Amino acid sequence: MDNINRELGYKEYVMREDYIFHAPYNPEVEFYEAVRDGNKAAAEKSLKVDFCNKPGLGVLSSNSLQSFKYHFAITAAMLSRYCIDGGMEHEQAYHISDLYINMVDKCGSKREISELHKKMVREYVKRMSDLKTAKVYSKHVVMCIRYIYDHLHERVTVADAADSLNLSEGYLSRLFKKETGMTFGEYVMRKKTETARNMIDYSGYSLSQISNILAFGSQSYFVKVFKKYEGITPGKYQSTHLPSAII
């Protein structure tokens, strides 16, 4: 898979929820901002009305239960995007979203959907609250992390990241290690592995496709790195985590 196809595959995966936004935009900006800010009181106030009893929800399917599931998916996608804007790591935000979208698919009643919605919102709020009280990275490290996520489909180097930020390679390397506790290279491999794991769980891509999309260089190197950080080979992981959603 060449560089262009790798980028298309990775962007398709990262933006896999965009089809959801063909539905009418939910105007509850204050609710999304409350979750993004980890504001438990404000979020709980919005949860006083059950999700499936909220006024103004459009009809997205002739099947009323399916319509609520579509609205749930819209909410999950919006929450992930707001939380990413609030500082949550992409993979964590998308993993939570994917998890709950798959869970709602198994709900058999409006009550189950509403209760699952509360659980999802509270999980995002807690994680954002914890994030706000955790160590805050400097602007340069935040920008570097964003650069890494935008280029996981490539061979990501600290030299390229430093050049994109107009910093010296040595300075960025020292700053990154000081604030994250990891070298630039180790952080990249951890994030590639986390993304690969999530793709195995939800994307429907084969292991060879995932290895190519994330630019591991070779299948054997992919297996080596995955096992280092997950303690299991990608093949064994896949055998116990069958994908439940196809892009």
The tens digit of pLDDT for each residue in 173-224 reads: 999 999 999 999 999 999 999 889 888 877 778 999 999 999 998 999 999 9
Q: Residue 226: which of 203, 207, 244, 204 has the closest Cα?
A: 207
Distances 236 to 1, 136, 200, 224, 226 between C-alpha atoms, Å: 24, 36, 11, 13, 11
Q: What is the dihedral of CA 41, 46, 49, 52, to 10 degrees?
A: -130
Angle at which helix 184-202 crosses helix 169-180, to 10 degrees, equals: 60
| Residue extents of the structural domains in the chain | 10-133, 136-240
**Residue 49 CB burial class (10 angstroms; 0-12, 13-18, ≥19):** exposed
Give the confidence band of 245 by pLDDT, cuts at 50, 70, 90: very low
42-61 pLDDT per residue, tens: 899 889 989 998 887 888 88
Mean pLDDT lowest for which of 88-92, 141-145, 209-213?
A: 88-92
* Separation of first and last alpha carbons in the chain: 18
User: Domain 136-240 adopts which CATH fold?
Assistant: Arc Repressor Mutant, subunit A (1.10.10)
CA distance 53 to 110: 9
CA distance 126 to 35: 9
- On the question of pLDDT at 22 being above 80, the answer is no
CA distance 172 to 159: 9
- On the question of pLDDT at 246 being above 80, the answer is no
**Residue 83 CB burial class (10 angstroms; 0-12, 13-18, ≥19):** buried
**What residue has token string 């069958």?**
242
